[in-house]
Amino acid sequence: MGAFRSVAWRGDRLVLLDQRRLPGAKVYLELSTAAEVAEAIREMAVRGAPAIGAAAAYGIALAALRGEDLSQADQVLRASRPTAVNLFWALDRMRRIWEGFQGSPEALARRLVEEAERIAEEDVLANKAIGQNALSLIPDEARILHHCNTGSLATVDYGTALGIIRMAHEAGKKVHAFLDETRPRLQGARLSAFEMNELGIPHTVIVDGASGHVMKTFGIDLVVVGADRIAKNGDTANKIGTYNLAIAARYHGIPFYVAAPTSTIDLKTKTGAEIPIEERAPEEVAYCGPVRVVPEGSPVYNPAFDVTPAELITAIITEVGIAYPPYEESLPALVEKAREDRP
Ligand code: MRU
């Protein structure tokens, strides 16, 4: 993005831009243990599936540099958040290196830092390729509805769904983004609007409940969202509210796109019913900032994600191409292509 990087390595420390403090303050956290990284993920100082994956990979590198037990570090990081498969994908990739490594602890640490760097750099390239691949789907002057935050902050840099909007803007398409505020953590209002502002991309923030009305009255051309986990059949877990948006898009005949790197596709998960959905603390809903808005004693249910059924998804845009239904066939083919393309 230029002005900041959500996840950055500084030789022996991981530096994260604390997303809980945005847009009010740009505060950087310096982390030097896997436990600190796990806490930053759990507390959402770093968030967004690809950013979580990269941060966790650096967490393993930090553990190796400090001579910590790697399987313990791996476990602590795995327990930080359950839904984004990029976390497990990155930790599996790191594990393949440290398990059975032949060499000194110093050599292993160097190798793990290198692998974490590779994961981070590949993510940036993947995001730009997603943006390029999507260009043909974005009409000039498109009005695009977006949910949550999927930009530079949610990735290592550039972003997935928001990256598509950015790429279209940079290509001169005069797009306008409508940003769902995304209750309860307000990733759309706080983070996506922050990024669009910094980039000078025309945008408007709306409350989540306004999306149907905006589709009907403004003539939205397409919806694009990110993903935390895509099952083999195309069912997609993403930020709570995505499912509602997909239903509203179908009713209005608006294409509904999911944008994600192939590291978000989980072929081991057959359908969305198998995806673990994180439930977060009721306080996230009960309070607006410091003010309690739900009466004491009223129960709150706070699922952080929902699953959009594949049949509501027009296409899934990845770094190696666009998957169309039937996803059981197109997704494994793209995952295979990504494997072949990797240097
Ligand atoms: O709870 P969050 O903020 O980590 O959820 C983020 C999302 O749901 C994103 O849409 C998804 O991780 C894709 S980010 C490129």
We report the CATH number of the domain holding residue 231 as 3.40.50.10470
Active site residue 228: yes
Residue 41 sits in the same domain as residue 179: no
Residue range 117-152, pLDDT digits in tens = 999 999 999 999 999 999 999 999 999 999 999 999
Select from 42, 120, 108, 14 the least CA-distant residue to 69: 108
Residue 257 sits in the same domain as residue 183: yes
| C-alpha to C-alpha distances, 235 to 163, 258, 272, 275, nearest whole angstrom | 22, 10, 5, 9
Residue range 52-70, pLDDT digits in tens = 999 999 999 999 999 999 9
DSSP secondary structure code for residue 20 in this structure: T
State yes or no: pLDDT of 296 exceeds 60: yes
Query: What does the pLDDT read at residue 1?
Result: 46
Cβ atoms of 315 and 243 within 8 Å: the answer is no
Site to substitute for ligand 1 among 44, 81, 150, most atoms within 8 A of C-beta: 150
Residue 153 sits in the same domain as residue 268: yes
Segment 148-177 shows an average pLDDT of 98
CATH code at position 25: 1.20.120.420
According to DSSP, the residues that pair with 323 across neighbouring strands are: 316
Q: Is residue 2 in some structural domain? A: no
| The model's pTM | 0.97
Q: Is residue 1 in some structural domain? A: no
Residue range 193-222, pLDDT digits in tens = 999 999 999 999 999 999 999 999 999 999
Query: What does the pLDDT read at residue 84?
Result: 98
Residue range 226-262, pLDDT digits in tens = 999 999 999 999 999 999 999 999 999 999 999 999 9
Q: Is residue 66 in some structural domain? A: yes
What is the 101 CA–ligand 1 centroid distance (Å)? 33
| Average pLDDT score over the chain | 97
Catalytic residue from among 74, 157, 228, 235:
228
Residue 77 sits in the same domain as residue 218: no
Residue that terminates a domain, selected from 110, 127, 144:
127
Rounded Cα gap, residues 6 and 11, in angstroms: 16
Alpha helices (runs of H) in 66-207, residue ranges in sequence order: 70-78, 85-98, 105-134, 161-170, 193-199
Residue range 84-120, pLDDT digits in tens = 999 999 999 999 999 989 999 999 999 999 999 999 9
Residue 142 sits in the same domain as residue 123: no
Query: Could you give the number of structural domains in the chain?
Result: 2
Residue that terminates a domain, selected from 92, 110, 127:
127
Q: Is residue 215 in some structural domain? A: yes
Residue 177 sits in the same domain as residue 315: yes
Site to substitute for ligand 1 among 85, 146, 187, most atoms within 8 A of C-beta: 187
Query: What does the pLDDT read at residue 341?
Result: 87
| C-alpha to C-alpha distances, 245 to 45, 155, 299, nearest whole angstrom | 26, 22, 25
State yes or no: pLDDT of 299 exceeds 50: yes
Residue 121 sits in the same domain as residue 242: no
Kindly tell me the burial class for residue 343, based on how many C-beta atoms sit within 10 Å of its own C-beta (0-12, 13-18, 19 or more).
exposed
Residue range 267-282, pLDDT digits in tens = 999 999 999 999 999 9
Q: Which residues lie with the beta carbon below 6 Å from any ligand 1 atom?
A: 47-50, 84, 148, 150, 154-155, 160, 187, 226-228, 238-239, 304
Domain ranges, residue 21: 7-127
Residue 25 sits in the same domain as residue 169: no
Residue minimizing CA distance to atom 8 of ligand 1: 239
Residue 117 sits in the same domain as residue 158: no
Residue minimizing CA distance to atom 15 of ligand 1: 150
Residue that terminates a domain, selected from 127, 147, 169:
127
Ligand 1 atom at minimum distance from 159 CA: 15
State yes or no: pLDDT of 297 exceeds 90: yes
Residue 105 sits in the same domain as residue 234: no
